[in-house]
Amino acid sequence: MLLMLLALALPSGKLQAQMGYGNNKLLAYATIEDGDTIPIFHLNTVNIITKWTLLTDKEIKKNQRLIRNVRKTLPYAKEARRRLQEIEKDMAGLPPAKRKAYIKKYEEEMLAEFQEDLEGLTFSQGKVLLKLVDRETGNNSYTLVADLRGKVRATFYNTFARMFGFNMKERFDPKRNKEDNLIDRIARSIELGKL
């Protein structure tokens, strides 16, 4: 099995070790086990999905509004995940005194960039966005705000959100919640290009 994977992964043709072509050199990762050098290849993630996880034609017709809302908010949730990873990476090397200033500056930049778009979301799109942010990051919105800006600010935001029917502490749970399951299936269908 391993030999078959290596044969598929290695380029065809003649292989020559330690050959550089001018300034163009190829960096390859490998591990050494029992004196043998074994190349390491990073492969893309493959999602194996059963037929039931994708939407049926009947479900697509019935849930057009939710599909539209997920389509509109999914890119924001993916961007939130990317930016959160960037923030965590940047803050890893910062002393605690500089983290607060960094977060505040980053928050101001994000507000300038996304405030107009996010203010244009409808009530139901905002609710879907909170669910998708949890889906993408693995944390609900309350936890994200509490980790980055503190529990006092997170509580304030959640209290304000509760006045409009949102709950930032609500978790995304597609296994137990039918609406979350439908949102997850719609998101998967969009990601796979089926919608």
What pLDDT shows up at residue 1? 46
Token pair belonging to 75: 């890119």
What pLDDT shows up at residue 28? 67
Mean of the per-residue pLDDT values of the chain: 80
Greater model confidence, 93 or 187: 187
Beta bridge partners of residue 31, listed in sequence order:
38
Rounded average pLDDT over 38-63: 75
pLDDT reading at 26 higher than 90:
no
Predicted TM-score (pTM) of the model is 0.68
CB contact at 8 A, 187 and 133: no
Angle (CA) 118 120 124, round 5°: 85
Token pair belonging to 34: 């029992």
pLDDT in tens, 130-183: 899 999 988 888 888 888 888 898 898 888 888 888 888 889 999 899 999 999
Angle (CA) 125 116 132, round 5°: 30
